[in-house]
């Protein structure tokens, strides 16, 4: 499984980044003329959260590159040997692939409402159908699943720490976004929250 993961993980991270962030953002910009990347533009607490997202993402990328190309350095990440078994790592790969499909589907369903960060300048439509009918935050749910799958595929103390950090940041961001959406959509969003769970 180790040899497969050395190729799979870098390709997966590149695909996830391109499909889940770059590709969808480009399509929204082309169709609407609006830049969906609004991180750091609201001058509110969420900017702090979104800025710190870079830490776990960069560390996970470096961890993957070390595992794939410089195994000697990867050993400093303190791998967890009892989790480095085929069943666990294969399960992680399956979860990661399902998470990518789930996330990409949710982004398509968001359409022009897709944003990275809180857009206080352009009002977006409240999406309530598709995966949003079963989860208020299907994209974040997909990201959480992808991170969990990554930990199972490449279990180490560092990957665990980064995934916990990323999850805490997501939990906080979701609540800040929900406060914003409540102000933005009022009773309509409140009713949506009463019908659909935050995660699933």
Residue bearing the bigger pLDDT, 34 or 199:
199
In the predicted model, is pLDDT for residue 21 greater than 90? no
Instruction: Kindly report each contact of residues 178-182 with a partner whose C-beta sits within 8 Å and lies 24 or more positions away, as own/partner.
Output: 178/136, 180/46, 180/118, 180/120, 181/126
**Looking at residue 48, what is its pLDDT?**
67
Q: pTM for the whole thing?
A: 0.89
Per-residue confidence at 53, pLDDT binned at 50, 70, 90? Answer: confident
Q: What is the pLDDT of residues 138-176, one digit of tens each?
A: 999 999 999 999 999 999 999 999 999 999 998 988 888
**Looking at residue 143, what is its pLDDT?**
93
140 contact partners, CB below 8 Å, separation of at least 6: 170, 173, 174
In the predicted model, is pLDDT for residue 42 greater than 60? no
Per-residue confidence at 193, pLDDT binned at 50, 70, 90? Answer: very high
Query: What domains lie within the chain, and their CATH numbers?
Result: 2-195 (1.20.120.1630)
In the predicted model, is pLDDT for residue 36 greater than 80? no
Per-residue confidence at 97, pLDDT binned at 50, 70, 90? Answer: very high
In the predicted model, is pLDDT for residue 2 greater than 90? no
Q: What is the pLDDT of residues 62-89, one digit of tens each?
A: 999 999 999 999 999 999 999 999 999 9
**Looking at residue 1, what is its pLDDT?**
81
**Looking at residue 47, what is its pLDDT?**
64
Q: What is the mean pLDDT of residues 99-117?
A: 87
Residue 122 — left, alpha, or beta (φ > 0 → left; ψ -120 to 50 → alpha)? Answer: beta
Distance CA 140, CA 173 (A): 10
In the predicted model, is pLDDT for residue 58 greater than 60? yes
* Helix axes of 54-69 and 2-17: crossing angle, nearest 10 degrees: 150
């Amino acid at each position: 499984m180790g040899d497969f993961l050395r190729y799979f993980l870098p390709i997966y991270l590149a695909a996830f980044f391109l499909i889940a962030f770059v590709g969808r953002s480009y399509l929204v910009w082309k169709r609407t003329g609006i830049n969906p990347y609004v991180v750091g533009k609201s001058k509110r607490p969420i900017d702090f959260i979104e800025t710190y997202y870079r830490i776990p993402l960069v560390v996970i990328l470096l961890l993957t590159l070390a595992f794939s190309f410089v195994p000697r350095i990867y050993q400093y990440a303190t791998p967890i040997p009892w989790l480095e078994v085929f069943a666990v790592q294969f399960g992680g790969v399956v979860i990661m692939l399902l998470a990518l499909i789930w996330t990409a589907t949710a982004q398509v369903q968001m359409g022009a409402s897709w944003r990275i960060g809180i857009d206080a300048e352009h009002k977006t439509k409240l999406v309530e159908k598709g995966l949003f009918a079963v989860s208020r935050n299907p994209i974040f749910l997909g990201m959480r699943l992808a991170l969990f799958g990554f930990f199972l595929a490449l279990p180490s103390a560092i990957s665990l720490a980064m995934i916990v950090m990323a999850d805490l940041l997501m939990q906080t961001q979701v609540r800040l976004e929900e406060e914003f959406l409540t102000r933005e959509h009022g009773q309509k969003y409140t009713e949506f929250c009463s019908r659909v769970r935050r995660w699933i």
